Homo-oligomer: A and B are copies of this chain.
Amino acid sequence: MYCGVDIGGTHTQIGAVDASGNVLDHEKLNTTSFTQARDLVITIAYTILRMAKVSGRKIEGIGVGCPNVNPKTGMLRHAANLKFKEEISIKDELAQYFPGIPVVVDNDANAAAVGERIYGKARNTDDFLCVTLGTGVGGGVFCNGKLVYGLNGMAGEIGHMIVEPNGRPCGCGRKGCLERYASAGGILDNYLEICTQNNTTPQASTYRQVAEAAKAGDPLALQAFDKAARVLGQALANIACVTAPTHIFVFGGVAQVGEILLAPLRKYFAENLLFCYKKTAEEHPAVHAEEHPAVCIELSELMETFKDAAILGAAALARL
């Protein structure tokens, strides 16, 4: 069995997964109840050891998905959504408990992309992008069948592409990052902005409420998703000009709204996509806006088919 650990701002999930992607065992910890990263790692280690003992199976590898981690060193760096102040190597700390067993640590967006590659829709695709939409916006980039790491292992930080010069301030110190429009918090901000523009008192004060309102057909909440889709669609069309993915998979909490986001996202993506990434590229450029992109935008199969997508993605890291 492989073990997958997803460290999130609120919860840490730990699971044991077989080769087919079945989750054999599963445990959830409150991340916020740990003040030291090291204490969290120790608890994770003992949870995994217990799972191995109960199942009687051999641990083939351990994968950990975690925001703001350097995949080369496993070092946790000032993650905005985690409260830990220390900088420790989760990889080294965890590996102490599992001599001889590979421990792979990577950010959650890369874990989702690797999960899609191992268990999901990307099994037959060498060039794809996995976009995670949640508290932040992240990306996992596969080119030529390999995960792209790049400088400091920090490729795929697509949430920090600047999409609106002098736009909304971002936690990274700059302005107008994609994340500020297409993350859960960004969509809430879109909604509040649209309410102000319409002189309407907001009926929602959290992302969840905006998502519920959109599902119920509220036009302003739908506009908030439309704005996220427009900004994200433009950014993805620009990314297509860099790595030319054949598929884009959308993952994460915000992706759970499904077609409310995906339908306008496909529309804006097609509107902004260069003709050579479209199906009938030989025709006159003027008609290209109506053409169908050759790049598919789909919901992650990890989310569609499997429970515990985050655990599966993390476990997949150890299988890459």
Contact = CB atoms under 8 A, between A and B. Distances in A.
A150 B244 contact: yes
Given A146-B144, A157-B274, A162 B244 contact: no
The interface centre, meaning the residue of A242, A274, A284 with most chain B CB atoms within 10 A of its CB, is A242
Interface string A128-146: 0000000000010101101
A266 interface: no
A175 B63 CA distance: 44
Interface in A278-311: 281-282, 284-286, 288-289, 294-295
A161 interface: yes
Copies held by the complex:
2
A320 interface: no
Contacts of A243: 141, 143, 148, 150, 155, 242-243
A84 interface: no
A288 B244 contact: no
A73 interface: no
A56 to B, nearest CB: 38
Interface string A238-279: 111111111000000000000000000000000010111100
The interface centre, meaning the residue of A146, A173, A243 with most chain B CB atoms within 10 A of its CB, is A243
Nearest to A246: B151
Contact of A295 (B151, B162, B171): B151
A238 B295 CA distance: 20
B277 A152 contact: yes
Contacts of A172: 274-275, 285
A110 to B, nearest CB: 12
A307 to B, nearest CB: 31
A89 B165 CA distance: 42
The interface centre, meaning the residue of A144, A150, A282, A286 with most chain B CB atoms within 10 A of its CB, is A150
A160 interface: yes
Contact of A151 (B139, B151, B294): B294
Interface of A: 77-78, 87, 127, 139, 141, 143-144, 146, 148-162, 165, 171-174, 234, 237-246, 272, 274-277, 281-282, 284-286, 288-289, 294-295
11 contacts: A77-B276, A77-B282, A78-B282, A127-B150, A141-B143, A141-B243, A143-B150, A154-B244, A154-B274, A157-B241, A162-B234
* CB-CB nearest 8 A-B residue pairs: A150-B244, A173-B285, A155-B244, A151-B244, A161-B238, A143-B148, A160-B274, A157-B241
